[in-house]
Amino acid sequence: QVQLVESGGGLVQPGGSLRLSCEASGFTFSSYVMNWYRQAPGKERELVAIISATGESTTADSVKDRFTISRNNAKNTLYLQMNSLKPEDTAVYYCSVWRHTTRFWGQGTQVTVSS
């Protein structure tokens, strides 16, 4: 079955960096578009970044020029490099894949940006 396992979250000061990882299994990772979402307390889940099977990517305006999505198809792993972090980036971050008629989610990893 599809499994997505995020890691790399934590507490970081404003201006700092983190790299999130998402290990995927149970499907042909290299064939699918992958996404990073985030959900802050009291807010709806929002799309942060998307990457195609061949590596074309786009990011939300709120994180453009600070966050970079990438993938390693040989390792079945999705990444999110986050630089110049701001307190408003505090959220639980999820990787996700839409496969057939179902959207699958990982368990999420907490990112807290605070001094």
Give the tens place of pLDDT for each residue, 67-97.
999 999 999 999 999 999 999 999 999 999 9
Give CA separation, 78 vs 34, 71, 115, in Å: 8, 4, 28
Structure tokens belonging to residue 40: 């802050």
Nearest to 22 by CA among 105, 101, 78: 78
Give the tens place of pLDDT for each residue, 4-44.
999 999 999 999 999 999 999 999 999 999 999 999 999 99
The predicted pLDDT at position 100 comes to 87
